[in-house]
Chain A
């Protein structure tokens, strides 16, 4: 075989080609399809949890005593406690949200201006653990009972004072603790029941929200007519069982 002369041009071309091939290898690896796996359903990790995951029974009792005052039972809906907000908060705290894993958490932590938002070094778990202990400590010192054992109107007054900062808690600003619990209570009340709250889709029924549906293609021709769809969550709803009976009278005006 005739020996080939390596020219400068040839060397450069070959080197460029080799580099490109290597480069293409990397690019194609990133651009390849996501691997499809059987049974890849991505259910939320917390959806199968049973029993308390993070809160102690005493803490859970106190959270229940708070959320049933933030969302009291009335003609429109059951209370936040009966809707499962305690379960929702407990499961969220046990998961990535509990340590704010989606946030930058390395500091430095300084008091910011109100416009700069939440600057606290405390993650959600710490806010509950410190806040609940401090609240009970304050109640025992000033009302001679644990928060959960106080009458409703007394609890309402204490919660109002937490919101405005009239009460000082040990280890955590009272407003921060109140905002944290209020936000999580609303999330639990309105989120998909798969996360533990919104039991029987009570909040969705209250609002007339039909739940996790893809589209309403088949309803386009009946514009102006209330659909009165029974809500469904990610794991379905009562209408999926064989003995379900459609509600006869509309519960609310459309």
Chain B
């Protein structure tokens, strides 16, 4: 069989033709800011993971519409395409900067700190300007977003003025001259555009970041965002720099595979970071002390009845993939031994994956995206309490036992 031309190359060429036609506004923006600045802005948008919140599944890029349920109502991400009516097309650089680094939107409207402007206040003038250039070069989308379904009094945006007084000190990232350039670059990404603390830092009662629990883990949307400091026991102590890099770049390393909210971070953001930035972030995170100060629980003895029953359930239902030693299989089955989400004070993530199951992230570098089956239908709340208690106290893990009531609460919170 012979072909005059490959059908695939024709199709690819046809697609390229469509994609390569720049929009009028993009053309103007290139002319206004230049290609180099727009390209730098594209990378800032990747570092900042704008798409994770501002692109809804199946929706136009950056057109917003993603819902975030909070205890006081829903916040819906806004349209940040350069559409002049429904997006941010009319924003000047100065207004864009105020939104990014001060939380003040168009017309002086106060933004909710779901938009992590406290972190973005660490960003440099140059990065803000580059990001502005890139956003203005994107395809405008007419999606009209009502971004606020909060309950009274939280629906009154001026309330954020008070919030800001308590929780927000706009402050550019201050490089530490005693540290390497690499460490400082990592710090800038983690504290600034990467806004890692938005999920991984403990929160005060007003949902501000708790400075004493900086990067030491928190509960968010029924997952544990684990401690990502260099703390030997509670944090990333067991992970070498290379493990952190592999996790951020591919979604998987020899210990773990990303699931929960971190999947979006990897898919839309960190897998596209430069190797230099990945290394810098790893260096910075490893240097962070685990400052939570909470004492670790002592492991339950093997003779505990919950441990005995849990061990038998583990053997029958878990060991096929996670193995008797809890170490799993690199790249396929996460290690339970020493895992931050397993040893976390709250068993939120473990209960989440046992009850509802989970599909891990799939990236071009690690495309399998293995799934944990839901065991919620086959295991009773009591069975799950015992097996999770066992997993949290076997293989060198130490964490508080889990009660049947905790499982029932988690089940009720997760069940669709």
* A→B interface (CB under 8 Å): 13-14, 16-18, 20-21, 24, 33, 36, 38-41, 43, 213-215, 217-218, 232, 234-237, 239-244
Q: Tell me the complex Cα distance, A14–B376, Å.
A: 52
Smallest CB-CB A-B distances: 9 pairs: A214-B320, A17-B14, A38-B356, A41-B377, A20-B11, A242-B309, A242-B305, A36-B359, A41-B374
Is there a chain A Cβ closer than 8 Å to B378's Cβ? Answer: yes
- Chain B contact residue count (CB 8 A cutoff): 40
Could you say which of B14, B323, B358, B378 contacts A41, with CB atoms under 8 Å apart?
B378
Is there a chain A Cβ closer than 8 Å to B292's Cβ? Answer: no
Residues of B within 8 A of A235 (CB): 378
Q: Tell me the complex Cα distance, A24–B12, Å.
A: 11
- Known contacts A36-B359, A236-B379; 16 additional CB pairs below 8 A are A13-B10, A17-B15, A20-B10, A21-B11, A24-B11, A33-B369, A38-B357, A39-B414, A40-B357, A213-B316, A217-B323, A218-B319, A236-B317, A236-B383, A240-B313, A241-B309
Among B333-360, those with CB < 8 Å from A are: 355-359
Q: Taking the nearest CB of chain A, how far is it from the CB of B358, in angstroms?
A: 8
Listed by A's residue number, 12 A-B pairs whose Cβ atoms lie within 8 Å are A17-B10, A33-B369, A36-B371, A39-B374, A40-B357, A214-B320, A236-B317, A236-B379, A239-B316, A240-B309, A242-B305, A244-B309
Whether B14 and A14, one on each chain, are in contact in the complex, defined by CB atoms closer than 8 angstroms, is yes
Q: Which residue of B lies closest to A194 (CB)?
A: B378
Whether A21 and B14, one on each chain, are in contact in the complex, defined by CB atoms closer than 8 angstroms, is yes
Residues of B within 8 A of A236 (CB): 313, 316-317, 378-379, 383
Q: Taking the nearest CB of chain B, how far is it from the CB of A149, in angstroms?
A: 41
Residues of A within 8 A of B416 (CB): 38-39
Is there a chain A Cβ closer than 8 Å to B90's Cβ? Answer: no
Could you say which of B357, B369, B376, B378 contacts A234, with CB atoms under 8 Å apart?
B378
Is there a chain A Cβ closer than 8 Å to B415's Cβ? Answer: yes
Q: Tell me the complex Cα distance, A135–B371, Å.
A: 51
Is there a chain A Cβ closer than 8 Å to B175's Cβ? Answer: no
Instruction: Mark each residue of chain B from 365 to 377: 1 if its CB lies under 8 Å from any CB of chain A, else 0.
Output: 0000101011111
Is there a chain A Cβ closer than 8 Å to B276's Cβ? Answer: no
Whether B312 and A239, one on each chain, are in contact in the complex, defined by CB atoms closer than 8 angstroms, is yes
Whether A38 and B414, one on each chain, are in contact in the complex, defined by CB atoms closer than 8 angstroms, is yes
Q: Helix, strand, loop or mixed for chain A's interface? A: loop
Whether A240 and B11, one on each chain, are in contact in the complex, defined by CB atoms closer than 8 angstroms, is no
Could you say which of B13, B316, B323, B374 contacts A40, with CB atoms under 8 Å apart?
B374
Q: Tell me the complex Cα distance, A35–B40, Å.
A: 35
Is there a chain A Cβ closer than 8 Å to B148's Cβ? Answer: no
Residues of A within 8 A of B378 (CB): 41, 43, 234-236
Most chain B beta carbons < 10 A, residue from A16, A36, A240: A240
Residues of B within 8 A of A214 (CB): 319-321
Could you say which of B313, B317, B319, B374 contacts A38, with CB atoms under 8 Å apart?
B374
Residues of A within 8 A of B316 (CB): 213, 232, 236-237, 239-240
Q: Which residue of B lies closest to A40 (CB)?
A: B374
Residues of A within 8 A of B379 (CB): 236
Q: Tell me the complex Cα distance, A139–B306, Å.
A: 55
Q: Which residue of A lies closest to B379 (CB)?
A: A236
Is there a chain A Cβ closer than 8 Å to B308's Cβ? Answer: yes
Residues of A within 8 A of B324 (CB): 218
Q: Tell me the complex Cα distance, A36–B7, Å.
A: 32
Q: Taking the nearest CB of chain B, how far is it from the CB of A202, in angstroms?
A: 19
Among B178-231, those with CB < 8 Å from A are: none
Residues of A within 8 A of B319 (CB): 214, 218
Residues of B within 8 A of A16 (CB): 7, 10
Residues of A within 8 A of B121 (CB): none
Is there a chain A Cβ closer than 8 Å to B386's Cβ? Answer: yes
Whether B320 and A215, one on each chain, are in contact in the complex, defined by CB atoms closer than 8 angstroms, is yes
Q: Tell me the complex Cα distance, A235–B377, Å.
A: 8
Whether A242 and B7, one on each chain, are in contact in the complex, defined by CB atoms closer than 8 angstroms, is no
Q: Tell me the complex Cα distance, A11–B327, Å.
A: 59
Q: Tell me the complex Cα distance, A40–B377, Å.
A: 9
Whether B415 and A39, one on each chain, are in contact in the complex, defined by CB atoms closer than 8 angstroms, is yes
Whether A17 and B11, one on each chain, are in contact in the complex, defined by CB atoms closer than 8 angstroms, is yes
Q: Tell me the complex Cα distance, A236–B316, Å.
A: 8
Q: Which residue of A lies closest to B307 (CB)?
A: A242
Q: Tell me the complex Cα distance, A53–B379, Å.
A: 25
Q: Taking the nearest CB of chain A, how far is it from the CB of B268, in angstroms?
A: 18
Residues of B within 8 A of A43 (CB): 377-378
Could you say which of A20, A39, A217, A244 contacts B376, with CB atoms under 8 Å apart?
A39
Q: Taking the nearest CB of chain A, how far is it from the CB of B412, in angstroms?
A: 13
Residues of A within 8 A of B13 (CB): 17
Q: Tell me the complex Cα distance, A33–B371, Å.
A: 12
Q: Tell me the complex Cα distance, A39–B316, Å.
A: 20
Q: Tell me the complex Cα distance, A24–B14, Å.
A: 13
Residues of B within 8 A of A18 (CB): 14
Q: Tell me the complex Cα distance, A237–B317, Å.
A: 11
Q: Tell me the complex Cα distance, A143–B374, Å.
A: 54
Residues of B within 8 A of A24 (CB): 11
Q: Tell me the complex Cα distance, A106–B316, Å.
A: 44
Q: Taking the nearest CB of chain A, how far is it from the CB of B120, in angstroms?
A: 32
Q: Taking the nearest CB of chain A, how far is it from the CB of B320, in angstroms?
A: 3
Whether A39 and B312, one on each chain, are in contact in the complex, defined by CB atoms closer than 8 angstroms, is no
Q: Taking the nearest CB of chain B, how far is it from the CB of A183, in angstroms?
A: 27
Residues of A within 8 A of B369 (CB): 33
Residues of B within 8 A of A215 (CB): 320
Q: Which residue of B lies closest to A210 (CB)?
A: B316
Q: Which residue of A lies closest to B18 (CB)?
A: A21
Instruction: Mark each residue of chain B from 1 to 37: 1 if its CB lies under 8 Å from any CB of chain A, else 0.
Output: 0000101101101110000000000000000000000
Whether A242 and B306, one on each chain, are in contact in the complex, defined by CB atoms closer than 8 angstroms, is yes
Q: Taking the nearest CB of chain A, how far is it from the CB of B57, in angstroms?
A: 12
Residues of B within 8 A of A240 (CB): 309, 312-313, 316, 383, 386
Q: Tell me the complex Cα distance, A215–B318, Å.
A: 11
Q: Taking the nearest CB of chain A, how far is it from the CB of B401, in angstroms?
A: 12
Residues of A within 8 A of B377 (CB): 39, 41, 43
Whether B376 and A41, one on each chain, are in contact in the complex, defined by CB atoms closer than 8 angstroms, is yes
Residues of A within 8 A of B357 (CB): 36, 38-41
Contact A243:B305 (CB < 8 A) given known A39-B415, A234-B378: yes
